[in-house]
Structure 1
Amino acid sequence: MLINNRWVRASGSLQDKPISIQFREDWQLARDQGDYHLCVQIAWHAQSLDDSTGFPSAAEQVRIVSFNDQLQARLEPDEGSFVMMMITHSGVNQWIIYTRDLDTLRAGLDSMPVEEGLYPIEVVADEDPQWNTFIQVHSRIDPVSATEISDAPSGV
């Protein structure tokens, strides 16, 4: 596999609200490959929040984690796309995905199970061969607050 499934997490606050950012430890390998020139951003706007944390409620977290697992399972096996970053802030979970081909990514999204109803997501895609979207967020992370985690990202 081109990149591993090791993640780094950084937590802090942005505009007086908690933020959690998780990104692939070896993200540079995919960027340096040069084939992943399309950036797809998926935003999940939480329907219910935990007032004590500002993050999605525990019940919604279960759906978000399941969605994240499905994203990786549906998009990454053929290495055509990679989930590179997940941001949780102010009731929104956002995934930053880099892909070679939008049609293949769309087919992966369309194949995700929807037994519990459609996912409350918005999807946008842009050409981003220099990975500016990812780097703009990554460059603002304080290395001291970032910690390695060995499994796939959680909801927050």
Structure 2
Amino acid sequence: MLVNNLWVRASGDLNGVPISIQFRKEWEAARDAGNYPQCVQIAWNASTRDDSSGFPGASEQAQILLFHEALQAALEPQENAVVVMMITHSGINQWIIYCNDLEQLQQDLDTVPTEKGLYPIEVVADEDTGWNTFTQVHSAIQP
């Protein structure tokens, strides 16, 4: 595996609303490999929200965690893609993924189990050879 599965979590407020950002501890190994020029962002707009935290409700949060684990299991084994960040804010979970081949990523994404129906996600992709999408968020949370 290109990077280990150790994650760092940063929590705080953004415009008075709680935010949680998790990222791979050793993300530089994937960036420095130079094999991941495509940035894919997946957004899950929660249908439930905990009013005290702004995060998805507990049962939906459990579904999101299962999706996160299935996403890594589907995308990372062949080292075509690496999930590097997850952001939770205002009822939206967003994953930032870098990949080499978008067609392969789509095929791998199609293998994520959907026993309970399709996931409420939106997927966008852009070329980002400098990892600007990731580094803008990462640099904003550094002390």
Instruction: Tell me if 1:15 matches 2:15.
Output: yes
Task: Compute the displacement of 1:2 (Å).
Answer: 1.6
Q: Hey, what's the Cα distance between the residues in 2 that align with 1:78 and 1:60?
A: 29
TM-score (norm 1): 0.90
Name stretches of at least 5 consecutive residues in structure 2 with no aligned partner: none
1:30 aligns with 2:13: no
Residue identity opposite 2:107 in structure 1: A
Which position in structure 2 is the counterpart of 1:149?
none
* Matched positions, count: 143
Q: What is the distance in 1 between the residues matched to 2:142 and 2:89?
A: 16
RMSD: 0.7
User: Aligned with 1:59: secondary structure?
Assistant: helix
Deviation at 1:142, TM superposition (A): 3.5
Partner of 2:55: 55
Identity %: 64
Shift of 1:109: 0.9
In 2, Cα distance between equivalents of 1:142 and 1:104: 33
Q: Which runs of 5+ in 1 are unaligned?
A: 144-156
Match of 1:74 in 2: 74
Whole-angstrom distance in 2 between the partners of 1:27 and 1:113:
26
Secondary structure at the aligned position of 1:139 is classed as helix
With the length of structure 2 as denominator, give the TM-score of the two structures. Answer: 0.98
Distance 1:101 1:23 in 2: 22
Give the deviation of 1:112 after TM superposition. 1.2
Alignment-derived partner of residue 42 in structure 2: 42
Q: Which has the higher contact order (CA 8 A, sep 6+)?
A: 1
Match of 1:105 in 2: 105
Moved more, 103-112 or 92-101: 103-112
Q: Give, in whole Å, the separation in 2 of the partners of 1:79 and 1:142.
A: 27
User: What SS is found at the alignment partner of 2:96?
Assistant: strand
Alignment of 1:109-148 (within 5 A): 109-143=109-143
Q: Which runs of 4+ in 1 moved over 3 A?
A: none
